[in-house]
């Protein structure tokens, strides 16, 4: 029995967005939902108990990082990712495909692009050496930790992810950039399709071999960059795969996403995908992008941005992002946000956080991260609630109008 299911509750009228519920062996996730990232089996500087208290329904860790350190065998022996990090709820791992390639060439998830942008298959960030090489069988890459050489194939990624034991895993894919030529995107899409088939076969084998373990769901990852025909083909191809009865349990909307076209791209994919399977938009967490993703049919989201920005003293408020080291917070003996109900805002002042950041105290990161994760988690929770109540567009207009208006 799969112990994994998804059901749709309410739809946004005239759009692809919907609410629903994902059931996993470690609990349920009401969608749309934002899934905070604990890359190395920890949300940096924050206790798992605090993540639960601030409303996180699940956490996402990274297969590439956990493969390098401490290694999948140790996580497996610990009883899986959740047990290892004392998080009893649902967990996700991404395949490592994005990391082995992006750490190799140093590209960003969302690239601002105009028509004149230089296109090449050899784009490498300034002063970065290419650390990853892709062939039809897999990717050979250099560890960012010690420079040692490693190889991921679809089979190896699935073996690692089965040992990590997350409830939701992602198929190994080739993540291209917006700078790649169309010819390369096409070739890469076929490679990712063939890898997806191999992932399903290996997933079936490992599920049978590890039948004493809780079921782990596998999501296929859809690429195709900014091209409508390639995106639609990717969705149809992966939704149609069936390897001896093994099919994808859901889909990851992945790859290079042009911010200006994000809604269109998610829409193309979701129009082609089956209604009854969940869709995860990989690596997206800016407020405006989350609204666009939800409206166009994405159910779950993950992003390192809320915690990464918090550690640099950038925090969210309803009036936009502010920097806590700004002199105006030195004597603000009031919470970061008067209307925020997070642990940080109900116990500490902005003046205290301003001091902690300036003094480079570790507690600064902890308190700011709790606030930012709460902000983004509740933002997506509100989207879910307003879809249910029929007020999604009112909420969207009100929130975006206030958040992105320069004061």
Tokens representing residue 18 in the block: 């919907």
Smallest distance, Å, CB 378 to Zn ion?
10
Which of 189, 177, 182, 172 has the alpha carbon at shortest distance from 107? 177
Task: Please pick, among 76, 94, 237, 289, the residue that the annotation labels catalytic.
Answer: 94
Length of the chain measured in residues:
407
With a CB cutoff of 8 Å and minimum separation 6, the contacts of 288 are 400, 403, 404
Q: Which is nearer to Zn ion, 325 or 349 (CB)?
A: 349
The four Cα atoms 296, 307, 315, 378 give a dihedral, to 10 degrees, of 50
CB 352 to Zn ion: min, Å: 13
Q: Which positions lie near Zn ion, rule CB under 5 A?
A: 340, 342, 344-345, 371
**What does each C-alpha distance from 406 to 149, 318, 319, 323, 400 come to in angstroms?**
48, 12, 8, 14, 11
Q: Minimum Å distance from CB 335 to Zn ion? A: 6
Tell me whether residue 177 or residue 344 sits nearer to Zn ion (CB atom): 344
Please give the C-alpha separations between residue 114 and each of 123, 258, 269, 334, in angstroms, as whole numbers.
16, 10, 22, 43
Q: What is the CA radius of gyration of the chain?
A: 21
Catalytic residue among 76, 173, 289, 302: 302
Task: Kindly tell me the sign of the dihedral angle through the C-alpha atoms of 96, 261, 313, 86.
Answer: negative
Of 139 and 345, the one with the shorter C-beta distance to Zn ion is 345
State residue 291 phi and psi, 5-degree precision. Answer: -60, -45
When the beta carbons of 186 and 349 are compared against Zn ion, the nearer one is 349
Distances (CA, A) of 399 to 95, 287, 313, 390: 33, 9, 22, 16
Is 114 considered catalytic here?
A: no
Of 29 and 340, which has the nearer Cβ to Zn ion? 340
244/338 with CB nearer Zn ion: 338
CB of 225 to Zn ion, least distance (A): 37
What pairing do the DSSP bridges indicate for beta strands 59-62 and 27-31? unpaired
Gap between the terminal Cα atoms of the chain: 54
Q: Are strands 149-152 and 139-142 parallel, antiparallel or unpaired?
A: antiparallel
Pairing of strands 217-222, 250-253: parallel
> CB of residue 342 vs Zn ion: minimum separation in angstroms?
3
We find the least distance from the C-beta atom of residue 370 to Zn ion, in angstroms, to be 7
Considering the complex, what minimum distance in angstroms separates the CB of residue 326 from Zn ion?
A: 17
Residue 179's nearest CA partner among 121, 115, 252 is: 121
Contacts of residue 129, defined as CB under 8 A and 6 or more positions apart, other chains included, come to none
Cβ closest to Zn ion, residue 102 vs residue 337: 337
Q: 94 an active-site residue?
A: yes
Residues marked as catalytic: 94, 302
């Amino acid at each position: 029995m799969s112990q994994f299911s998804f059901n749709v509750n309410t739809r946004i009228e005239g759009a692809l967005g919907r609410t629903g519920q994902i059931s996993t062996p470690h609990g349920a996730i009401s969608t749309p939902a934002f899934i905070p990232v604990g890359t190395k089996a920890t949300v940096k500087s924050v206790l798992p108990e605090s993540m639960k208290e601030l409303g996180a329904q699940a956490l996402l860790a990274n297969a590439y990082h956990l493969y390098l350190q401490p290694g999948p065998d140790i996580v497996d022996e610990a009883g899986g990712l959740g047990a290892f990090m004392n998080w009893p709820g649902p967990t996700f791992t991404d395949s490592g495909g994005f990391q082995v390639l992006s750490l190799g060439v140093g590209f960003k998830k969302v690239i601002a692009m105009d028509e004149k942008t230089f296109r090449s298959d050899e784009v490498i960030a300034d002063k970065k050496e290419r650390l990853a090489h892709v062939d039809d069988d897999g990717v050979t890459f250099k560890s960012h930790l010690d420079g040692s050489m490693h190889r991921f194939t679809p089979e190896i990624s699935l073996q690692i992810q089965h040992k990590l034991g997350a409830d939701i895993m992602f198929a190994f894919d080739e993540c291209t950039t917006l700078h790649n030529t169309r010819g390369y995107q096409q070739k890469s899409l076929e490679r990712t399709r063939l890898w997806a088939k191999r992932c399903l076969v290996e997933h079936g084998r490992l599920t049978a071999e590890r039948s004493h373990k809780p079921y782990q769901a596998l999501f296929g990852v859809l690429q195709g960059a900014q091209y409508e025909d390639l995106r639609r083909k990717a969705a149809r191809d992966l939704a149609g795969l069936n390897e001896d009865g093994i099919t994808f349990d859901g889909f990851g909307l992945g790859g290079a996403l042009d911010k200006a076209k994000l809604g269109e791209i998610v829409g193309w994919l979701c129009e082609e995908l089956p209604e009854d399977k969940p869709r995860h938009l990989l690596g997206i967490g800016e407020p405006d992008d989350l609204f666009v993703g939800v409206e166009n049919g994405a159910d779950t989201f993950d992003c390192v941005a809320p915690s990464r920005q918090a550690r640099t003293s950038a925090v969210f408020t309803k009036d936009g992002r502010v920097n806590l080291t700004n002199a105006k917070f030195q004597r603000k003996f009031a919470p970061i946000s008067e209307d925020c109900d997070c642990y940080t805002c109900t116990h500490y002042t902005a003046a205290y956080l301003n001091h902690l950041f300036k003094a480079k105290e570790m507690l600064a990161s902890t308190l700011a991260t709790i606030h930012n994760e709460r902000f983004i988690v509740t933002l997506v929770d509100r989207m879910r609630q307003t879809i249910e109540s029929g007020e999604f567009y009112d909420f969207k207009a009100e929130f975006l109008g206030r958040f992105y208006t320069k004061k």
